[in-house]
Amino acid sequence: MVRLVILLFLLFSPLFFTVSSVYADQRSDPREQAVSDALDLWRDGRFEHLYDSLSQRSGMTRERFVRFLKEAENRPACCFTKLRDFRLINEKQTTAKIFARLGMEAGVGEEASQSREFTLDHEEGRWKMRVGDIKKLAGKSGKPKKKR
């Protein structure tokens, strides 16, 4: 009987840990969650979905945005380093100014953080980061990326 309990625990424990990690990045502040979600989409390479989730997209097509991020020098770091020190500075009905420190990867093994203010827009019933903020974070240089 004890062996059966141990066996069942070993079989199902990865499931419990996986489920808990899926919900580990749920944040209580909807503005913080919006930033976290945008960074996750970017890190996962889901650039089309990221484009759709941002505000102030005029002046940049989806295709140009995707190409821009594929050639970018930086991308968000993983996990707990991606978003820290989140603070709400000012909130109005349709905009919010926030401060956050974001972990960024500039290349293989290179990690740095960027602390800055961001303006979020409240559109379609949710908070959204702006395309311009993502472009600044990407830090793309004028040099074309080498093809592999």
pLDDT at 45 > cutoff 50:
yes
What b/e sequence results for 19-39 when a residue is b if at least 16 CB atoms lie within 10 Å of its CB, and e otherwise? eeeeeeeeeeeebbbbbbbbb
pLDDT at 147 > cutoff 70:
no
pLDDT on residue 148: 45
* pLDDT 10s digits, 5-15: 666 666 665 54
Q: Which pLDDT band, with edges at 50, 70 and 90, does 129 fall under?
A: very high
- The predicted model scores a pTM of 0.74
- CATH number attached to the domain at 29-138: 3.10.450.50
Q: Which pLDDT band, with edges at 50, 70 and 90, does 46 fall under?
A: very high
* Long-range contacts of 113-121, Cβ-Cβ distance < 8 Å, separation of 24 or more: 113/81, 113/84, 115/85, 117/89, 118/35, 119/95, 120/31, 120/34, 120/35, 120/55, 120/95, 120/96, 121/55, 121/56, 121/94, 121/95
Residue ranges of the domains in the chain?
29-138
